[in-house]
Every structure is written in structure tokens, then in C-alpha cells.
Structure 1
Amino acid sequence: MDIYLLLMTLIAIVIVVVGVSWLKWHAFISLTVASVFLAIMSGLSMDKIIGAYEIGVGSVLGHLVGILALGTILGKLMAESGAGMQVADFFVRFFGVKKLPWAMLLSGFIIGIPVFFEVGILILLPLVISIHKTSKQNILLIALPVIAGLSIVHGLVPPHPGAMAAISIYNANLGKVLLYSLIIAIPAGIIAGPLFAKWIHKRVIPEGEPELIRIKKLEHKLPSTGVSFFIILLPVILMVLSTAAPYLGLPDGLTKFFALIGSPLMALLIACFAAFYFLGLRQGMDKNVIKKLTEECLLPVGSIVLIIGAGGGFKQILIDSGVGTSIAQMSENLSLSPIVLAFMIAGLIRIATGSATVALTTAAGIVSPIIEHMSGVNLELLVIATGAGSLMFSHVNDAGFWMVKEYLGLTVKETFQTWTVLETILSFVAFGGTLILSMFV
């Protein structure tokens, strides 16, 4: 029976992969079809299938919808107000031309915390291209560290959707994931960013010219550098405060207050209101412009919400049909560490589907029922290992691959030599960091 259930799970994963890559279905439809197939084939009672799926969707999305929406609004305001450019400009001035790769890594890292990878690219690439034009340096030396910073934060660090989905599915502690992910993300970003860029820019000279992104003339003055940093780091500061509060010996009421304002939803809500005022009204935007920006940026979130929800539904079917227990028993017999298992499964799904979010949510869905009966599993490191796997070997089925190729004016071969290698370095260094950290925490 175990082998049969495992086989059905593999076929369900194949349905997700074939649906996304070959039939060109939206990942939400692929995951839903795979969930229903697995439920029927594993013998789950017909009248319980939809209920189980809906419970799974609700359990993940109930926690995430507000966070995703608020994070997107914050990112949009940073992009439109010029706050992202201000932060990047500060690092470039501070580090100077000699240390440009380090300046670009830090820019990507800081700006990547509150914004999606794609938004971060759009904020920072005009700056990359203008530095490339004035410094006459190989564009890879400037662009790759930025991309490494944005990508590692997007894959591992809350409040990004993938990390938040995995935290929700595994029931991990958000504060600890934030702390551990920053410890692991920094060395991974350094190795895949400035160090790899210094090595590869001598070996790959891009043939094409980068696509000139139209830099919008801002109709208002730019926010100050201090304000820009404050808005970007505010949600992180609030989350760290709430994690630290119980250890500071504060009165009970104050600790609870910090727990409230440091929850991701409240931290991002507070940051959004700060952004409405400091990046919007104070910079000359009127209320109607801010409302329009908010509505514009929320439309694309729908797609990510659906994918994450369907990943939660898939997880619940795995649990209710008994597949999770079967895989748990088999992995215990193979004595595979859950951290290694999560990394491998996320990596394989990422290579097959091209989507880090699909890889993260599906892998977390598969691994979470396995660990229910295990003791001593570090849930926070499990989130990070799954995130690390979801970054592996980006290639032609990943939208990020084509985005980097087009914007930097690379050929397909050059994109493989740079972006694909960079993503794989990030993945394995972050996984190595997780294993090392697991010896101490």
C-alpha cells in the first residue's frame, strides 16, 4: 500500500509539472487537478475531497492574504516614490566605484526585503544600467550582485510569500525564521553575488546591450535617504522587536503590545501607513494617486494567492489520504533528514516547474505531514532548507530567466552561464548554511 500511495503522489507531482510546463495551465489549476487526482486514487471518500481541499486552502491563505497584499502595496509605493533608488544611490556613494559589487549586493538585499523579486529588478536595473554607462564596467559586475541580493531575500526571508507560506504550512516561528534566514542569506548572497560576479565577468562578455528601461520622470521630489531606509526597515524592526520582547523582562502588557505590532500583518500595515504619509502625501502625491497605485499593484497578487492556496489544498489532501504518514514511514526507514528531504523535493519541483513559489508550497505540503510524527525537527531551518531548494537551477521554464536575459541584453547561453549558475550557488550555499546552523540551534 505504501508503494502504491507513493506512486500516486509521484503521478500527482507529474500532473503539476506537465500542467504548468507543457499544457500551459496556470499553476493553481495544475495543483487543484493534482490534488483531486491524488484524493480519488488514494481512496479518500468522495464526499470529503472538496472539504479537505478547502480546509487546506483556508488554513494557509487565512494567514497570508493580508500580508501579501500589504507587502505589495509597500513595494509599489517604494518603487513609485523613488525610495528604492535613494537607498541604492546611498550605497553606491558610500562604497564608491571600486567596491561597486558590494554596494549593489547591499542595495538588492535591503530593497529585496519588502518587495517582490520582479519589482526589485524594476527599481534597481535603471540604476545598474546608468552605472554601467558611466563606469564602462562589464554590466555583469554591477548587475549580478543586485540580482543575488534580491533573489536570496525573495527565497528565504519573511515577509516574502514563499517563506510565509512555508512558515504557515510547517507552523514555524516567524521571528526565528527571520533571524536564521538573515544569518544564512548574507554569506550566500556574498558568494553568489560579488565573488561570483568578479570571477565570471572576466569570462563572459555580453554581446548585446542592456535594454534601456524607461526611467519615469517623477513628478514630485524624492524622499530623503533616511526616510527611505526607515520605511524599508520598519516592518523588519517591528518583527524583531516582537521576537525579542519576551526576553527583555518587560511588563506583561507591553510584551503583548509588541507581539501585536510585530506580527507580520500589523508590522506591514503600520509600514504601509508610514509609507502613505512619508513616501506619498509628504512628497506631493494626492490621495487619489495613492489609491490608484494601491489598486494597480493588487491585481497581480491574485495569481500568487491562488498558487499558495492550492499548495495548501494539496498539503491537506496528502494528510487526509494518509500519503503523508506513508512517506514519513518510508523516509524514516531510509533515515533521510527532513531538512535534506525538503531541499531535494523543492529543488526537483523548481527544476521541473520553473516557479520558486510552486516549488516551496508543494514541497512544504509534501514534507509537513512527514514531520508530524517526528521529534526534534527544527521547523525554522526546515522553512529555510525548502526555500533554498526552491532557488535551484533556474532555466528556460522560469520567468525570472527571461527577465534577466532581456533586461541585461544577454544571449540564452550567457544567461545560463550567469543567472542559472548564480541561482544554483545561492541554493547550495544557503542549504550548506542551514546544515551548519542545525548543529548549533
Structure 2
Amino acid sequence: MDAYILIITLLSIVIVILVVSWFKWHAFISLTIASLFLAIFTGMSWDKIVKAYETGVGGVLGHLVGILALGTILGKMLSESGAGLQIANYFVKIFGEKKLPWAMFASGFIIGIPVFFEVGILILLPLVISIQQATKKNLLLISLPAIAGLSIVHGLVPPHPGAVAAIGIYDANLGRVLLYSLFIAIPAGIIGGPLYAKFISTRVTPSGESGLIQVDESQSKKLPGVGISFLSILMAVILMVLGTFAPFIELPENGVKFLEFIGSPLIALLISCFAAFYFLGFRQGIGRNQIKKFVDECILPVGSIILIIGAGGGFKQVLIDSGVGETIGNMAENLSLSPLVLAFLIAGLIRIATGSATVALTTAAGIVSPIIANMTGVNLELLVIVTGAGSLMFSHVNDAGFWMVKEYLGLSIKEAFKTWTVLETILSFVAFIGAFVLDIFI
């Protein structure tokens, strides 16, 4: 019976992979079909299938919808106001020309905290191209560190959607995930960014022209101040960290509860958005109608991510209610396979097959969550991080990020594999090793 359940579970994962990569269906549909397939063939009662799926969707999205929307709005304000570009300019000025790779990594890392990977690329690469044309250095030496900074934060650090979804699925502590992920992401990003860029830039030179239009220099006078730009980007992170440490601060009980309230991701991002509306909007001469337009433009694409994450939650609940999680958990215990290794491998396989870090993270978390339900001593926060690390590995032709980087840097497909694919894999494995080392000490 256990073997049958395992085969059905594997087939349901294959359905997700094939339907996304072969039939080109949306991941939401493929995850929903896989959930129904799993429920029916594991013998769940007909009257419980839809309820289990809906419970799973609601459980994941209940705390996530607002965070996703507000994070996207904040990223849009940073992009449109030029705050992201101002941060990048500041780091370039501070580090100087000789340490440009480090400047670009710092820029990518900081800018990547509140914005999606694709938005960060659009903020940073105009600056990268301008610097390259001024210094005549290899484009990869300047661009890869910035991309590494964006990517590692996107994969591991909340409030990015994949990480927040995994936190909800595993029931991990967001504040601790934030602290651990920053601790792990920085060395991983340095190895995959400035250090790897220095190595590969002596061996590969982009064979084509960048597909990116240069930034309009006339915009430089309109950029917000450096202090305001930093504050806008880091405010949400500061509030969330403050909320995490609130119980350890000597304050009246109401004071602690208030700090925890403003440090919750939803409220922290809401406060940050209103600060951005004022400092990056009204004070920059951007009117109410334009801000509303920005909000409308960035909210629409969020729908797709919400659907994917919701369907991943539904899949997770079917795994639990059908008894699959318990069965796989027993087998994993018999094999003595660490949950951290299991989560990393499952996320990696789904990432390779589907090309989507978000699908890989959400699906893997849904598979592993019921497995660890009856286990003791599992660090849930590090489980979130290793699942995120697995979702980064081996990006190739089925990943939109692969083509985005290829076209913007003027790379051939072979050059994109040597640079972007290897960079992502370095980030993945170094972050995984970092989590394992951290697990020894906490």
C-alpha cells in the first residue's frame, strides 16, 4: 500500500512538471489537476476532495495576499521614482571603480529586498550598461554581481512571495527566517557574485549587444535623496526585525504588542508603502493620479503568482488529508534522510523541470510539510531557507530569468549557461551548505 501511495504521489508531481513544461499550461491549472489526481487515486472520499483543496488554498493565501500586493506596490514606487538607481549610484561612488563588482552586489542585494527579481533587473541594468560603456570593463564583471544580489534575496529572503509562502506552509517564524536568510544569503551572494564574476569574466565576453536601452541621463536630477531612498527600501525590514525582538525589550506589555503589530509583514509593508507614496511620490512631484496608475499597473501581474501559490497550498492540504505525508514521512525516517536534504532535493528537481522558482518552492514545501509533521527537532526556519536554495539551482531554457539575462547582457545560449546557470547553481549550493552549518549552532 505504501509503495502504491508513493507511486501516485510521484505521478502527481510528474503531472505538474509535464503540464507546465510540455503542454505550456499555467502552473495554477497543473497544480490543481495534480491535486485532484492525487486525491482521487489515493482513495479520498468524494465529498472531502474539494474541501481539502479549498482549505489549503485559503490557509496559504489568508496571510499572503496583502503582503504580495503591498510588496509589489513598494517595488513599483522604488522603480518609478529612481530610488533604486540612486542606491546603486551611491554604492558605485563609495566603492569606487576598482571595486565595482562589490558595489553592484551591494546594490543588487539591497534593492532586491523589496522588489521582484525582474523589477530589480530593470532598475539596475541601465546603470550597469552606463558603467560598462564608461569604464570599458567586461560587462559580466559588473552585471553578474548585481544579478547575484537580486537572485539570492529573491530566493531566500522574505517578504518575497516564495519565502513567505513557505513560511506559511511550514508554520515557521518569519522574523527568524529573515535573520537567518540574511546571514546565509550574504556569503552565498558574494561567492556567486563578485568572486565568480571575477573568475568567469576573464574567460567569457558577451558575443552580442545588450538588448537594453540606456537610462536617460536627464532623469538624474529628479532622483530622490540617498537617505530617503535607503529608508524607503529598508523600512519594512527594520520594522519586521523590531517586531521580532520586541519580546526581549523591556517595555510595558502594550508596548511589546504594538511593536509586534507594526513589525508584522502586512503592517510593516503598509507603513512602507505610505512612506513611499509621500517621500518617493508627492515630494518628487508625482501626483495622485500617477501614483494610482502605478498601483494599478503593478497589481495586475500579482494575480498569476497568487494563483500559483494558492494552488500549491491546495496540493499541500490534499497531501496531508490523503495520508500521503504520513506515509512519506515514515519512509524518510526509515531512510534517515534529513528533512533539510529532502526539501532541497525536491525543490531542485521541480525547479529544473518547471523553470519556476516560485512553483518549485511552493510545491516542495507542500510535499515536505506533511512529512515533517510528526518529526521532532526540525528547524522550520532553516527548512524554509533550504527549500528556497533548492528552487534556485540549474536555471536553464525553461526559465524566464534565463532568457531575460541572456538578452539584456547580449549572451549566446552557451554563454548564458556558463554564466547565469552556473551563478544560480553556486548560489543554491552555497546557501544549502550555509543552512547546514547554521543548523549545527542553533
Q: TM-score, structure 1 length as denominator?
A: 0.99
Residue 382 (1) aligns with residue 383 (2): yes
Residue 72 (1) aligns with residue 92 (2): no
AA of the residue aligned to 2:201: H
| Alignment match, 2:38 | 38
Residue 359 (1) aligns with residue 326 (2): no
Residues of 2 paired with 1:213 and 1:154: CA distance?
Answer: 24
Render the CA deviation track for 1:134-167: whole Å, top value 9, x for unaligned. 0000000000000000000000000000000000
Query: What runs of 5+ residues in structure 1 fail to find an aligned partner?
Result: none
Residues of 1 paired with 2:174 and 2:213: CA distance?
Answer: 36
Asked if structure 2 preserves the Cα contact closer than 8 Å seen for 1:338 and 1:382, the reply is yes
AA of the residue aligned to 1:180: Y
Residue 111 (1) aligns with residue 111 (2): yes
| Alignment match, 2:192 | 192
| Alignment match, 2:328 | 327
Deviation at 1:213?
2.4
Question: 1:56 is paired with a residue of what secondary structure?
Answer: helix
| Alignment match, 2:316 | 315
AA of the residue aligned to 1:207: S
Deviation at 1:214?
5.1
Asked if structure 1 preserves the Cα contact closer than 8 Å seen for 2:130 and 2:214, the reply is no
Residues of 1 paired with 2:400 and 2:112: CA distance?
Answer: 18
CA RMSD of aligned residues (A): 0.9
Residues of 1 paired with 2:219 and 2:204: CA distance?
Answer: 35
Q: Percent identity?
A: 74
Cα gap change, 1:294 to 1:332, in 2 (>3 Å)? same
Asked if structure 2 preserves the Cα contact closer than 8 Å seen for 1:220 and 1:285, the reply is no
Asked if structure 2 preserves the Cα contact closer than 8 Å seen for 1:55 and 1:313, the reply is yes
Question: 2:33 is paired with a residue of what secondary structure?
Answer: helix
Which residues in structure 2 correspond to 1:24-423 (within 5 Å)?
24-213=24-213, 215=215, 218=219, 221-423=222-424
AA of the residue aligned to 1:269: L
Render the CA deviation track for 1:247-297: whole Å, top value 9, x for unaligned. 112111110000000000000000000000000011101100000100000
Residues of 1 paired with 2:201 and 2:79: CA distance?
Answer: 29
- Aligned residue pairs, count: 441
Residues of 2 paired with 1:323 and 1:220: CA distance?
Answer: 59
AA of the residue aligned to 1:149: G
| Alignment match, 1:4 | 4
Query: What runs of 5+ residues in structure 2 fail to find an aligned partner?
Result: none
Render the CA deviation track for 1:112-155: whole Å, top value 9, x for unaligned. 00000000000000000000110000000000000000000000
Question: 2:222 is paired with a residue of what secondary structure?
Answer: coil
Stretches of 4+ aligned residues off by more than 4 angstroms: 216-220
Q: TM-score, structure 2 length as denominator?
A: 0.99
Asked if structure 2 preserves the Cα contact closer than 8 Å seen for 1:56 and 1:313, the reply is yes
Asked if structure 2 preserves the Cα contact closer than 8 Å seen for 1:104 and 1:146, the reply is yes
Residues of 2 paired with 1:314 and 1:240: CA distance?
Answer: 31
Residues of 2 paired with 1:122 and 1:222: CA distance?
Answer: 16
| Alignment match, 2:16 | 16
Residues of 1 paired with 2:439 and 2:353: CA distance?
Answer: 28
Residues of 1 paired with 2:116 and 2:244: CA distance?
Answer: 24
Greater displacement, 213-222 / 355-364: 213-222
Residues of 2 paired with 1:344 and 1:18: CA distance?
Answer: 18
